Chains A and B, each alone.
Chain A
């Protein structure tokens, strides 16, 4: 199970980083979404894995529970990452409306002097 969770975090991170480095807003947003999954699972996993030990206190005497603290942290993180995604989407939309392109690395006047740079990109 540990290997499964760790590999999930790894694959999500790899995909997220790759997409984050693309040149259009939408893939970057997708990449950041993948990355937030990865980070959330990572933080959640830092409380170690356990099965059938929900942190809901049992009325029937002694029971063992999983670590509730990372769960509380991740719960708010999930909601906040939604907020962040929404802000990013809005900024991306705004940039698209204003500049009529969704490229994220728009050439500025300074870069115009070196046009060979953006053909590479």
Chain B
């Protein structure tokens, strides 16, 4: 990356870094805060000026850092003429606004916050104009919407501020969403998300069948941002923002983002009929309509807001014309509009600040009281009206010139006449701004007696007014930047000459008509105003509010009708949808012919199958009797284990049978506290419905299973079988897959299991600390209890079984790598052995003899498994690579030592800990439910009785 590229990165980052400071610096005072806002802006501006000469010569400065190359997203920036123009405007205006806001905001306003928002916005806006990646551009685009939301709603106590901010966010945010779609389409057509690449692919994009959808979506984004008809309504409502915000966002920068985007995309999208008719027509309508409404607005800022809408329409129309000369005019007008409109906003802010009102009907005659403000306001307003020797005249002449030879649907007159009308209305409201605020008789009923503000407040608009005159008198001053920007927009090599006198052209006559007509309109303003007020016209805010209310009602309707809080409804909807989708997939492609023969069915399996089917149907039929249902569930689980044995899956059979045991214990424990019967409360209709859903789901899944069972498959398992012994050191392929090939999965799974155990433990504690504990204590469960809870025989048998079960567990664990077994099964077997002790000898007795906490077991297991995996790093291998060796211990046969064994130990400990913790938690609840604590292992201990007898003797 070049030196210049580094600078570009720093420019892009500076506002965001700077944004952190003012909010903190506010403790040092408002001036300090303003200074620290101005510093990064000024620094960025200086850097921009360093880059400017090269850009003006026609060079393009680029900088790129790969970010997410898989998505085509990179942090890449570029600076060409257009970017330079906008970046200069953003940073320059940023400085002026910082100064102005320092004096405009009162000491009661949180100024640090304001400056932080302002810099955030500035960074986002700067990002838009120098992004070289359209995805990055979209991110910055959304950031401007968000930061402008904060700025518009800055005065949080004003309802208009909050509503205006919401409306602006809704409209520009919706447009932004549309634009994301458009940009993705564009990137897809061009095959790259880099702007420089897309700009080269104009031909292909315009020829693509996706051109029109992409165009419309992108324009939706641009039109909403730049307040084009019919999305113009948010801009006047955003005027509830403090005036510095209005001057910065709503005249100089953010609303120009849409225009910028159209200019940026001009070489790619412009030049087609669709572009001309959509963009130019929208611009024309917006220009005339905005100007018309502006003429009748009494609020100074509303007048300026609608005039901005009108001028944005003008810019849009010029870009829509699609000619190079129009593009030059548009670029030039962007500069001119910035200078006079920002000055006017600041003037309006000063008037508001000094007189405490913005209502034109309450103002007038301020020229003697506020001479400086009057001078600045007049210069800016005359420029807006397009009077010669002010810069607004120059670009307006160029606009009229372009309009004068533009045909619209075969008509030679439509565009010129409407453009002249727009200019005429523009003259009228500009004159009105001066005449009704500053001219006329001095009044004595201002809400506050005005006088000129301090220098700091009028310095910024005065500078802008100076620029207005400078460019107006000596237009060649702006020629360099206009040329560079226009060349960047059009991609051509233009050398426009900006001059005041073009001779007696049609445009001049249109200008004359506009000025004369505008002056006439102003004289007739009073009767026209009466007519305007009396005339019915749509109120945008009411329509918007109704629209929003309608959308909210619609979504609430959908939500309430589908999400009524009943989980059975969700599950039903989910199941039906899944079945329907499955059917659609089947209906779409059909089935190929079966490639496998059916395996024979031995009689034993047939009997088992009948048992399983009957049990399942019985569970459904008699689920109201919960104990019975539980017994049947056990039968189903055992039948499935038997099936696994027959179908060459010994590991699964072992696991299933041991899980079955603990599941039944778990459900039995739970059932102790729950009602033993399920009441019959479903209507026949509901049962029918659920039955149908169940049959559809079962039929679908069964058919699917049958379909794939009859067809062959390409499997990756050949690799596992081939490498199990040589690579993993074990002959039980399933176990080697678990602890080696897919060890990472297993590692995740034992963590999940551990978390489930801890979750149950935590839930148990939460329950026992809450009101449930009292309820449990007061409920009488004694009826459910056996009279002989710890029968002698069972105690003795489980004691004897305990060591045997342990050895079996150890055996299953050790052989697991080569024969059916392994950590999972061994963990379950040992857990069952321990659970038997709890069941036989009672909770308290067993608990007392427990040496290790189950939490510790879970933790140990996960840590051992993790460390084993990490051990591979020491050997320079990836995580969980296993190693193994064979050792020969004389009494035993050859003996294998594999790190996978250690990993399996982790699995074993976690499974054991989790299962024990789960059942232990449930049994602890029983303690709370008033269960008596037995000190000895048996209710009746013959040994105790004998001892008693001995002592008596």
Contacts and interface: CB of A to CB of B under 8 A. Distances in A.
Interface hub of A17, A65, A120, A121 (most chain B Cβ within 10 A): A17
B623 A30 contact: yes
Contacts of A34: 616, 619, 633, 636
A76 B656 CA distance: 10
B927 to A, nearest CB: 14
Contacts of A47: 713, 715, 717
A76 B753 CA distance: 10
B647 A11 contact: no
B918 A2 contact: no
A33 B633 contact: yes
B525 interface: no
Interface string A1-25: 1111111111111111111111111
B681 to A, nearest CB: 6
Interface hub of A1, A27, A33, A46 (most chain B Cβ within 10 A): A1
Given A4-B601, A13-B701, A68 B733 contact: yes
Interface string A32-51: 01100110111011111111
Contacts of B708: 45-46
Contacts of A4: 601, 605-606, 609
A92 to B, nearest CB: 7
B720 interface: yes
Interface stretch (B239-247, B527-535, B756-764): B756-764
A46 to B, nearest CB: 6
Interface hub of B656, B670, B705, B725 (most chain A Cβ within 10 A): B705
A33 B601 CA distance: 27
A100 B824 contact: no
A69 B648 contact: no
B693 A21 contact: yes
Contacts of B682: 22-23, 121
Interface residues of A, number: 90
Contact of B568 (A21, A66, A85): A21
Contacts of A94: 763, 766-767, 772
A90 B619 contact: no
B742 interface: yes
B721 A55 contact: yes
Interface in B816-865: 818-820, 824, 828
Contacts of A38: 701
B652 A89 contact: no
Contacts of B673: 93, 96-97
Contacts of B648: 50-55, 66
A34 B635 CA distance: 12
A84 B659 contact: no
B698 A15 contact: yes
B469 to A, nearest CB: 66
Contact of B772 (A19, A30, A97): A97
Contacts of A30: 619, 623, 629-630, 633
Interface string B671-697: 101110011011100100011011101
A79 B659 contact: yes
A37 B643 CA distance: 12
A80 B630 CA distance: 20
Contact of A121 (B681, B710, B734, B828): B681
B649 A10 contact: no
B884 interface: no
A61 to B, nearest CB: 13
Interface in B619-639: 619-620, 623, 626, 629-630, 633, 636-637
Given A21-B693, A76-B738, A86 B666 contact: yes
Interface hub of A8, A110, A117 (most chain B Cβ within 10 A): A8
B856 to A, nearest CB: 19
A85 B757 CA distance: 11
Contacts of A20: 568, 571
Given A10-B705, A12-B636, A68 B691 contact: no
Contacts of B915: 82
B931 interface: no
Contacts of A54: 648-650, 820
A57 B706 CA distance: 29
B557 interface: no
A1 B565 contact: no
A75 B655 CA distance: 7
Interface stretch (B118-126, B218-226, B592-600): B592-600
B940 interface: no
A75 B732 contact: no
B591 to A, nearest CB: 14
B756 A86 contact: yes
B477 interface: no
Contact of B598 (A1, A13, A74): A1
Nearest to B764: A90
B712 interface: yes
B694 A21 contact: yes
Contacts of B600: 1
B605 A33 contact: no
B601 A68 contact: no
B745 A76 contact: yes
A53 B599 CA distance: 13
A15 B601 contact: no
Contact of B703 (A6, A15, A51): A6
B87 interface: no
A18 B694 contact: yes
Contact of A86 (B612, B703, B760, B824): B760
Contacts of B918: 83, 86, 90
A52 to B, nearest CB: 6
Given A33-B633, A52-B648, A57-B721, A68 B666 contact: no
A10 B569 CA distance: 22
Nearest to B618: A15
A94 B666 CA distance: 15
Contacts of B656: 40, 78
B80 interface: no
A11 B757 contact: no
B672 to A, nearest CB: 10
A41 B640 contact: yes
B907 to A, nearest CB: 9
A55 B626 contact: no
B674 A90 contact: no
Given A9-B705, A50-B648, A71-B652, A89 B734 contact: no
Contacts of B820: 54, 56
A26 to B, nearest CB: 6
Contacts of B702: 6-7, 9-11, 13
Interface in B710-748: 710, 712-713, 715-717, 720-721, 724-725, 731-734, 737-738, 742, 745-746
Contacts of B674: 25-26, 92-93, 96, 102
The 7 tightest CB contacts between A and B, nearest first, are A10-B702, A14-B698, A97-B772, A6-B706, A18-B694, A1-B599, A83-B756
Given A11-B613, A22-B682, A67-B717, 16 more contacts: A6-B702, A9-B705, A11-B698, A29-B667, A34-B616, A44-B644, A52-B648, A75-B738, A78-B655, A90-B763, A97-B772, A102-B674, A104-B567, A110-B565, A120-B683, A120-B686
20 contacts: A3-B598, A8-B640, A13-B697, A15-B698, A22-B690, A24-B678, A30-B619, A51-B648, A54-B648, A55-B734, A57-B733, A68-B734, A72-B738, A78-B659, A87-B759, A89-B667, A97-B776, A98-B770, A121-B566, A121-B681
Interface of B: 564-569, 571-572, 575, 596, 598-601, 605-606, 609, 612-613, 616-617, 619-620, 623, 626, 629-630, 633, 636-637, 640, 643-644, 646-652, 655-656, 659, 662-663, 666-667, 670-671, 673-675, 678-679, 681-683, 686, 690-691, 693-695, 697-699, 701-703, 705-706, 708-710, 712-713, 715-717, 720-721, 724-725, 731-734, 737-738, 742, 745-746, 749, 752-753, 756-757, 759-760, 763-764, 766-767, 770-772, 775-776, 818-820, 824, 828, 911, 914-915, 918, 921-922, 925
